[in-house]
Structure 1
């Protein structure tokens, strides 16, 4: 039997029989907003509490997460301002649309308390994972950064700062093993901060979270968070994953405030350099954007190879004979070390000139995928050949993939959000549950492709070929279907072939 749990923070006996509508201890209404029933408290903080709930208005009464924010001021003017700020920030959270961030389902005020309703994500957080399975090695930390940084980049693109990144706020989703970023500090921090800036004598929330000690950098604890503050928190999370220690338990330089973490872990030169820059106390010396971190992560193996070459081939300079040979323009001598250095400089230069990261070969991409990398967003893969590739759940968000080939490829659950796929060939590809939200699919070839439960919301399907495609339960409008080519063999969203 699933009990009802009273949301009144002052209730002495909050557990109730599920059939009652009012708490038998304090009389509070147990059906929140005429729709949600709390069944268990799952978290508590200075800003309020978090509960597991069920949505009574939907078939099957699906689970949800109920977050309660508790203003303590009785001043009507202060409360009204808190309400306005809460609604403004909740609407901002509502704009988040990312598969690795819980969706905001509802928000409202009830009995002077503010509530956020979010989708439930089943899985263990990374703190629990480390305690159960042990610390991460370097390859696992790299995989963690490669997956979580693009999620954070998306948040920053919405001009939002998470403010409370730590292992306990990153879940590994039970369903597919992907990392999910939870517990945004936007509402609870912004309401508090803005009320304080208005010089109100008593703020709406007397206690609030500005981050977690050890994981939050100095400027955030001083109520001045910036995008680089989240980067510090990601770095501090890496320390925990490799040591099972909170950063506040790691020795610190009393003069500079820098964590002396190097003696706690053994890392390659490349990753150590990146982590050191992520954890800079002086924000001026820290990474300023997620792209900078991703670029250095991408190039670190080349730099390490360069250092290795320098140490093992340090004397491979041109001999006099080679210098003579190099007099001719076509015989210029360039050592392997020099070629590697030139390649790195050229790669960095290209990355600086384009909003897209450097292009890679299809072979490199498939190799990286096989080694655990899932995210290849915001890159250029025009005319790439992925024929028969087995790459489910891959992330091609915001990529340029004009005229790329995906014939007979397995792309189940892939993410092509806002990607440019004009002229792409998906002939007989497995595209079940693929996200094509806002993608440019003009003149794309989907003949014989399986698009069951695919999401094509907002996609441009002008002149796309859907002849023989399976669109059963796909999210696609009649207008989009009219823009595309279909025939007697096309299976429409209703699961039927239409008679021509």
Structure 2
């Protein structure tokens, strides 16, 4: 096991796990004298995520350590740097008050070291929504309703605390196979800092957005609202329903979602389609203004529908895909399609 140096410009960051300072650049290897990074998980331009341990416990409890790097526009001015640090500290402190909210992952601890802002989080267990969609292509209406049922109350509590997530996307929604619940993770701290400091940052745009495919237009211009989070969640739901990334669902003018063309294997009720379309409306005035209004419409849907399990058995899902392909294939005779579909279904149903 190695210890990783967190200095962004270190030329040789690998160190033995008993080192307290980097052999290459001399930077401290322990955050707050207890949190040690072991290996990188994801390395972005402004956010780097590491698997780590909390050495304060004898068993070295596993953690996730997130490093947020400030852009040069902030670092070159000491007053701007200090302001960014204060925004970060205030936001983390506010999130910490929500640590007991179900389906909302908040930081365990935080620190500021040099030019880096650090978040200490529980190591995620489960699959991201992105991974679920890779495995089963899409979610059914009842499964998407389950996702909304888990996340909307948590998001509502966040909004009632005057906080926004700012970076809702499939990678930031975690599904627990043990509990069968969805959790919102990875708050958009860089977006918040840039939005709060856009008067001081000439190139805030690059630092402002998480993923433009899931960000509302008003957020891209530095004016995010509570409805901006609903837009992002609505886009996620459209992707979950179709299995298609949002860049392929929005028309070239950015005004209409052409998702219905991709619902070849899925069925959404007209009422639920209207809800998703209002969540993801490109124009702010056409969107839900708050979660309370959205929850009211969701309650009017058929409450008797039972959510399907997210994970399906491999042979069953393979059989379904085969049936879907055959039924939609351009074969000259429906009878031929039917016979082949039945044959394939029987093959999967035979005991092994």
Q: Give TM-score, length-normalised by structure 2.
A: 0.79
Corresponding position: 1:176 with 2:179:
yes
Corresponding position: 1:61 with 2:63:
no
Aligned equivalent of 1:283: 284
In structure 2, relative to structure 1, the CA distance for the partners of 1:87 and 1:251 (3 Å cut) is closer
Q: 2:116 aligns with which of 113, 117, 131?
A: 113
Is the partner of 1:104 in helix, strand or coil? coil
> How far 1:181 moved relative to its partner?
0.5
Is the partner of 1:177 in helix, strand or coil? coil
Aligned equivalent of 1:222: 221
> How far 1:206 moved relative to its partner?
8.6
Residues of 2 paired with 1:279 and 1:262: CA distance? 14
Residues of 1 paired with 2:178 and 2:12: CA distance? 35
Aligned equivalent of 2:259: 261
Aligned equivalent of 1:274: 275
> How far 1:36 moved relative to its partner?
0.7
Given that 1:214 and 1:247 are in contact with CA atoms closer than 8 Å, whether structure 2 keeps it comes out as: yes
Given that 2:106 and 2:185 are in contact with CA atoms closer than 8 Å, whether structure 1 keeps it comes out as: no
Matches within 5 A, 1:167-246: 167-185=170-188, 187-197=189-199, 200=200, 207-246=206-245
> How far 1:202 moved relative to its partner?
6.2
> How far 1:245 moved relative to its partner?
1.7
Matches within 5 A, 1:289-300: 289-300=290-301
Q: Structure 1: where are the runs of 5+ without partners?
A: 302-363, 374-500
> How far 1:201 moved relative to its partner?
5.9
In structure 2, relative to structure 1, the CA distance for the partners of 1:283 and 1:177 (3 Å cut) is same
The structure carrying a bigger strand percent of its residues is: 2
Note the alpha carbon deviations across 1:351-371, whole angstroms, 9 max, x for none: xxxxxxxxxxxxx8xx67xx2
Is the partner of 2:51 in helix, strand or coil? strand
Corresponding position: 1:125 with 2:128:
yes
> How far 1:64 moved relative to its partner?
1.4
Aligned equivalent of 2:35: 36
The structure carrying a bigger helix percent of its residues is: 2
Is the partner of 2:117 in helix, strand or coil? strand
Given that 2:102 and 2:154 are in contact with CA atoms closer than 8 Å, whether structure 1 keeps it comes out as: no
Residues of 2 paired with 1:253 and 1:144: CA distance? 29
Given that 2:54 and 2:63 are in contact with CA atoms closer than 8 Å, whether structure 1 keeps it comes out as: yes
Q: 2:92 aligns with which of 90, 93, 113?
A: 90
Q: CA RMSD in A?
A: 2.2
Corresponding position: 1:74 with 2:76:
yes
In structure 2, relative to structure 1, the CA distance for the partners of 1:126 and 1:150 (3 Å cut) is same
Moved over 6 A (4+): none
In structure 2, relative to structure 1, the CA distance for the partners of 1:233 and 1:36 (3 Å cut) is same
With a CA cutoff of 8 Å and minimum separation of 6, indicate the structure with the bigger relative contact order. 2
Note the alpha carbon deviations across 1:273-298, whole angstroms, 9 max, x for none: 11121121111111111122222122
Residues of 2 paired with 1:74 and 1:282: CA distance? 37
Corresponding position: 1:166 with 2:165:
no
In structure 2, relative to structure 1, the CA distance for the partners of 1:206 and 1:143 (3 Å cut) is closer
Is the partner of 1:189 in helix, strand or coil? helix
> How far 1:179 moved relative to its partner?
0.9
Given that 2:31 and 2:111 are in contact with CA atoms closer than 8 Å, whether structure 1 keeps it comes out as: no
Given that 2:50 and 2:66 are in contact with CA atoms closer than 8 Å, whether structure 1 keeps it comes out as: yes
Corresponding position: 1:252 with 2:251:
yes
Given that 2:198 and 2:222 are in contact with CA atoms closer than 8 Å, whether structure 1 keeps it comes out as: no
> How far 1:146 moved relative to its partner?
1.9
In structure 2, relative to structure 1, the CA distance for the partners of 1:180 and 1:44 (3 Å cut) is same
Residues of 2 paired with 1:177 and 1:126: CA distance? 12
Aligned equivalent of 1:333: none
Note the alpha carbon deviations across 1:119-149, whole angstroms, 9 max, x for none: 2221110101110233112221222222222
In structure 2, relative to structure 1, the CA distance for the partners of 1:19 and 1:161 (3 Å cut) is same
Residues of 1 paired with 2:84 and 2:160: CA distance? 26
> How far 1:242 moved relative to its partner?
1.9
> How far 1:251 moved relative to its partner?
4.5
Aligned equivalent of 1:10: 9
Is the partner of 1:108 in helix, strand or coil? strand
Residues of 2 paired with 1:104 and 1:188: CA distance? 15
Q: Structure 2: where are the runs of 5+ without partners?
A: 309-352
In structure 2, relative to structure 1, the CA distance for the partners of 1:35 and 1:202 (3 Å cut) is farther
Note the alpha carbon deviations across 1:349-406, whole angstroms, 9 max, x for none: xxxxxxxxxxxxxxx8xx67xx249xxxxxxxxxxxxxxxxxxxxxxxxxxxxxxxxx
In structure 2, relative to structure 1, the CA distance for the partners of 1:208 and 1:121 (3 Å cut) is same
In structure 2, relative to structure 1, the CA distance for the partners of 1:130 and 1:30 (3 Å cut) is same
